[in-house]
Amino acid sequence: MRIDISTIRDTKGASIEVELEGSSGQMAIAGTTLRSVAPVRVSAKATCTGHNTILVQGNAKVKLEAECHRCLRKFAFDVDAEFQEQYCKASQGSSSRLGYEQDEVLTYSGDFVDISTEVNSQLALSLPIQLVCSDKCRGLCPVCGKNLNDGECACTNETGDIRLAPIAQLYLTQDKDEF
């Protein structure tokens, strides 16, 4: 994902707005690799702030697919991330200046600013902590393995503690009163 800054890089205050599309890097949550089902879309604004520095602000969106940790079904979800980075023109040639400072400053060279790395890392930071298809996902029955989102299974009542039934009823009634 590269932004062509040839028209703004020499004019302080000049800016350009772009829409970009690109592939996402590999992302993972708790060891689960996520597959993107649509390209990463970026809307960004690049501004020349003088002193060979380009400020890039924007947002990135990607649609990913994963397996729900509770019911093991595949589901797709969107990830949105905002980002803001400054890129300095890379110093040419002189390897003597390539100290540890180089790690902290993002650079560009020529007519393009490449924002792929920052976009991917911001998206990675915006991933959900838990991979569940819905807050209300009921998961699988531990006894028969049926997906309880599809309805109750036959064994639910048999394994449930009958003495707790009246309490469960009570909770249900209270819930109704609240709404």
Give dist(CA 83, CA 20) in Å, integer.
Answer: 14
Query: Residue 10 or 152: which CB sits closer to Zn ion?
Result: 152
Element of type H or E holding 157: helix 155-159
Q: Which stretch binds Zn ion (CB under 5 A): 29-37, 94-102, 132-140, 163-171?
A: 132-140
Kind of pairing between the strands at 74-89 and 106-108: parallel
5 touches Zn ion (CB under 5 A): no
Among 28, 105, 125, 155, binds Zn ion (CB under 5 A): 155
141 touches Zn ion (CB under 5 A): yes
CA dihedral over 22, 26, 30, 35, signed as positive or negative: positive
Query: Residue 61 or 146: which CB sits closer to Zn ion?
Result: 146
Q: Which residues, other chains included, contact 23 with Cβ-Cβ below 8 Å and sequence gap of 6+? A: 36, 39, 40
Write b or e for each residue in 88-107: b if 16 or more Cβ atoms lie within 10 A of its Cβ, otherwise e: eebeeeeeeeeeeeeeeebe
Give dist(CA 105, CA 31) in Å, integer.
Answer: 30
Query: Residue 90 or 153: which CB sits closer to Zn ion?
Result: 153
Query: Residue 40 or 68: which CB sits closer to Zn ion?
Result: 68
153 touches Zn ion (CB under 5 A): yes
Q: Which stretch binds Zn ion (CB under 5 A): 29-37, 47-55, 64-72, 82-90?
A: 64-72
Q: In the bound complex, what is the minimum distance in angstroms from residue 104's beta carbon to Zn ion? A: 41
Query: Residue 144 or 170: which CB sits closer to Zn ion?
Result: 144
68 touches Zn ion (CB under 5 A): yes
Q: Partners of 22 in the beta sheet?
A: 40
Residue 139 phi, psi (nearest 5): 70, -160
Range 8-27, binding Zn ion (CB under 5 A): none
State the residues that interact with Zn ion by CB under 5 A: 68, 70-71, 133, 137, 141, 143-144, 146, 153, 155
